[in-house]
Every structure is written in structure tokens, then in C-alpha cells.
């Protein structure tokens, strides 16, 4: 992985953690996601006339990616309604790199060296430990205190994360234009989110779009830019490495949760942070 790709993905991780924090603190999370999707659509529409269309073989992947991204956001909203940012976010992201690495090696022939495989595993396990699921003597949550609903929704969200990561990586390569793939996937994503929001809340969800619109705009811009960088990076480096490096966003999410949301950071989470950092260092060696 080149230095440019490495730094770009780290920047995308910061933006990803930021828009997740905005959704977590929002009182109307479905409304925030809808505003975010509409902002992304506004960014994508003019670009549809600038970038070339994806190749014909990529269109099924464009449609699949749009649906998976919408499902990810909607499940994330549900998960945040039951758990903290510092618990839900790591679980929603942490298992994805491990799934992506396995499928990438078996299906895409992107076998990793032992050192890189260990780095991906360290990042994935560290991210999961960041949620507080670990030894209680280090600050892990006792079984009786684990919010099983939040954990279940976060793990379901992780399945969407792994799925759209693989679909995006393959689709962008088939499209022969990462930018064109991002633009048209975003438009599909917006349609699905808009329909789902109407189904969940009715016309009232659209009447409330003007409230707290700033958070939706910031979340939309950060989410769009973060995703664009990630898709481009997956055309330049193995998908598993990009997916693992992107999940360092949980480090920034932990800091946001601790500093701004006043969430507790236990020794276990600091240990998890050390594992993630160690994995990142190996990726860059």
C-alpha cells in the first residue's frame, strides 16, 4: 500500500467516525440519515454528467451496493437507539475486516502474507474489544450488563459493512471508473433510504428536514468523501488491507465518545487501541 493511499484512507477514517458521532447524538436518527442521503445525492447529481458511466458489467454491483449501503445506515440507526457510540460503532465495523480478508482470499484470490494477515486480525480483534466485549478485569462488560439488542443490531450492521465493502471493491474494478461507480451507487442509495424513511415515518419525516439540517449536511459531506476515498483506494490496493485500515476510525470514534460525549474509556479499550495501532504499523511496514 503506497503512502498516498495509506494517508488517504486514514483521513477517510476520521471523516467516517465524525459522521457516525453526528448520527449517534441526533435525536431523530432516521431524519439525520435521510438528510445525509439527500446531501449526498445533491453532491452526486451534477457529477453524474462529469464522470463516465460505469461499464455494463458493473451495473448489478452498483444496484447491490446502493441497497447494502442503505441497509447499513438504517440498521446503524436502530443500533444507536439502543447503545453508545463507543460500543455500537466498534462492533458494527470490527468484524468486517476479518470477513473481507477471508472472502477476499478465497473468492478474489487476494491472499495476504502472514504478517499482513496478522495485522488485519489485530485490527479486527482490537476493534471488537473496543466495544467492551472482553475480560471484565480489564474493564469489559459483565454478561448481565451487555445490551444484547444493541450487540445484535451492531453485528447485523457489520454484515452489511462486510458485504458492501466486497461489492464496492469488485464493482469499482469492473466499472473501470471508481468515481462513476460512487456517483451512481449514491443515487441508488438515496432512493432506497428515501423510500425506507417514508415507510418508517410517513410524510412527517420530510416535513422535518429543515430542523437540525446542519448536522445532516456535515454528515452527508463527510460520509460521501470518506466513501469516495475508500472505493478509490480499493482499486489501488487489496480490498482487505483498505477495509482493515479504514476501521481505524474506531480509534477516532473512541476519542470523540470520551471527549465530547463523556463516555467511559476502560483499560480494555486502551488495550484494544494499542492492538489496532500495532496492526496499522504492520500494514505500513
Instruction: Tell me, rounded to whole angstroms, the distance of Cα 134 from its chain centroid.
Output: 23
How much is the pLDDT for 66? 93
CA dihedral 113, 94, 281, 138 (to 10 degrees): -120
- Could you tell me if 245 and 277 are in contact, meaning their C-beta atoms sit under 8 angstroms apart? no
How much is the pLDDT for 125? 79
For 263-283, the pLDDT digits (tens) are: 666 777 778 778 877 877 776
For 167-183, the pLDDT digits (tens) are: 998 999 999 998 999 99
Please name which of 170, 152, 134, 150 lies closest in space to residue 243, comparing C-alpha atoms. Answer: 170
- Could you tell me if 269 and 130 are in contact, meaning their C-beta atoms sit under 8 angstroms apart? yes
How much is the pLDDT for 58? 95
Cβ contacts of residue 66 below 8 Å, gap of 6+? 184, 185, 186, 187, 188, 189, 191, 192
Low-confidence ranges of the chain (pLDDT < 70): 1, 19-20, 22-29, 84-87, 94-95, 108, 111, 131-147, 208-216, 261, 263-265, 283-285
**Domain range annotation of the chain:** 3-284
Amino acid at each position: 500500500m503506497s503512502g498516498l493511499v495509506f494517508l488517504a484512507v486514514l483521513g477517510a477514517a476520521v471523516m467516517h467516525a465524525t459522521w457516525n458521532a453526528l448520527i449517534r447524538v441526533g435525536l431523530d436518527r432516521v431524519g439525520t440519515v435521510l438528510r445525509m442521503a439527500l446531501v449526498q445525492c445533491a453532491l452526486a447529481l451534477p457529477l453524474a454528467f462529469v464522470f463516465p458511466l460505469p461499464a455494463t458489467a458493473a451495473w448489478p454491483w452498483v444496484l447491490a451496493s446502493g441497497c447494502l449501503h442503505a441497509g447499513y445506515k438504517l440498521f446503524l440507526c436502530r443500533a444507536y437507539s439502543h447503545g453508545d457510540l463507543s460500543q455500537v460503532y466498534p462492533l458494527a465495523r470490527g468484524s468486517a475486516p476479518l470477513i473481507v480478508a477471508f472472502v477476499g482470499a478465497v473468492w478474489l484470490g487476494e491472499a495476504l502474507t502472514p504478517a499482513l494477515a496478522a495485522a488485519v486480525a489485530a485490527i479486527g480483534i482490537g476493534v471488537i474489544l473496543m466495544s467492551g466485549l472482553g475480560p471484565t478485569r480489564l474493564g469489559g462488560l459483565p454478561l448481565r450488563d451487555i445490551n444484547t439488542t444493541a450487540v445484535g443490531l451492531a453485528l447485523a450492521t457489520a454484515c452489511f459493512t462486510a458485504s458492501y465493502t466486497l461489492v464496492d471493491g469488485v464493482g469499482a474494478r469492473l466499472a473501470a471508473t471508481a468515481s462513476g461507480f460512487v456517483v451512481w451507487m449514491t443515487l441508488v442509495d438515496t432512493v432506497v433510504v428515501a423510500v425506507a424513511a417514508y415507510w418508517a415515518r410517513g410524510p412527517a419525516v420530510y416535513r422535518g428536514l429543515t430542523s437540525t439540517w446542519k448536522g445532516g449536511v456535515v454528515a452527508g459531506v463527510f460520509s460521501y468523501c470518506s466513501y469516495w476515498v475508500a472505493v478509490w483506494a480499493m482499486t489501488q490496493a487489496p480490498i482487505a488491507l483498505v477495509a482493515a485500515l479504514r476501521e481505524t476510525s474506531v480509534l477516532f470514534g473512541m476519542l470523540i465518545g470520551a471527549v465530547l460525549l463523556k463516555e467511559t474509556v476502560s483499560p480494555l479499550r486502551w488495550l484494544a487501541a494499542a492492538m489496532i495501532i500495532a496492526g496499522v504499523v504492520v500494514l505500513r511496514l
